[in-house]
Structure 1
């Protein structure tokens, strides 16, 4: 009899879990086209989190871990899905082996495909901010640390990684932002 009760409660849990997943998917499908509204909501959550950190003067480690995670996600957002340096090495190997001919005029148009799409970047940013805000509610995560060192270290880390990313973008001539449709002179 206990086995049947366990199976019934387990199947009820599966039904509720499935309903929650479907509701979550419907919400994500609904909000996907509303890019500006999504980012405004995320910025509001970020402002609430930052205000909490500044007002209570604590949870600097949580804030630092959150900032490092966002920096990592931002770099993945700026990086192409297929690394051009690896693609160039493959092309150079095929030219040296004599299997292909390359001219300077053989550049074909390749659209920029991100390693981390905008929607995933938004979703991970929002979820990580909510998790960081949640962690800032518990004193176990309030580890005492001299916060100016964390700020200086994050600024240095940001500058070094962005410098490397910009050099990579210049070297392989790609631009991770769509500047819109080209407009020609009006007639």
Structure 2
């Protein structure tokens, strides 16, 4: 039974792979449902904080190269005449999406159990998360500038269809 369920889940994951926009829209909808649930319940701030920290860690893996230029791994090109080496992420886009979606779904499931609703002063958690986010991103951006890489690309360049030329015979 478990193997059949896992096989069915894998089938749908494989089918969703080329549909990037739909996948990310699903994540946004799941995240909005989670935020609405936490907002209306006025609780589960520790769960939200943990969710934020986990997804920040996933984001770092997504924007970090697989081989760190500071270590012994292959270096990223720094000059125009060097060989082109594409940016390879430590965490691929699909795995980033899937792990984020799983975390939001698990966080939503946790909101159904009162044991996870630990009373805390949420502004302190929010402030601490923002400080952690900005310090981490500052360090990551410095790393990007130092080793001259950009972790985002906008895909393959597409050329539009030119004017149709009809043969006059």
Could you tell me the TM-score, scaled by structure 2's length?
0.86
1:103-118 matches, within 5 Å, as 107-118=82-93
Identify unmatched segments of 5+ residues in structure 1.
1-15, 92-103
Deviation at 1:175, TM superposition (A): 0.6
Match of 2:96 among 114, 117, 121: 121
Q: Structure 2 CA distance, aligned partners of 1:44 and 1:183?
A: 29
Match of 1:166 in 2: 141
Deviation at 1:140, TM superposition (A): 0.2
Q: Structure 2 CA distance, aligned partners of 1:36 and 1:137?
A: 29
Match of 2:22 among 34, 37, 59: 37
Please state whether the residue corresponding to 1:86 is helix, strand or coil.
coil
Q: Structure 2 CA distance, aligned partners of 1:136 and 1:105?
A: 52
Match of 1:98 in 2: none
Residue 51 in structure 1 maps to residue 36 in structure 2 = yes
Q: Structure 2 CA distance, aligned partners of 1:165 and 1:173?
A: 12
Q: Structure 1 CA distance, aligned partners of 2:108 and 2:25?
A: 17
Match of 1:96 in 2: none
1:29-178 matches, within 5 Å, as 29-87=14-72, 107-178=82-153
Deviation at 1:182, TM superposition (A): 5.2
Q: Number of paired residues?
A: 157
Deviation at 1:53, TM superposition (A): 0.9
Could you tell me the TM-score, scaled by structure 1's length?
0.78
Match of 1:28 in 2: 13
Counterparts in 2 of 1:126 and 1:183: CA distance versus 1, 3 Å: closer
Identify unmatched segments of 5+ residues in structure 2.
163-169
CA RMSD of aligned residues (A): 2.0
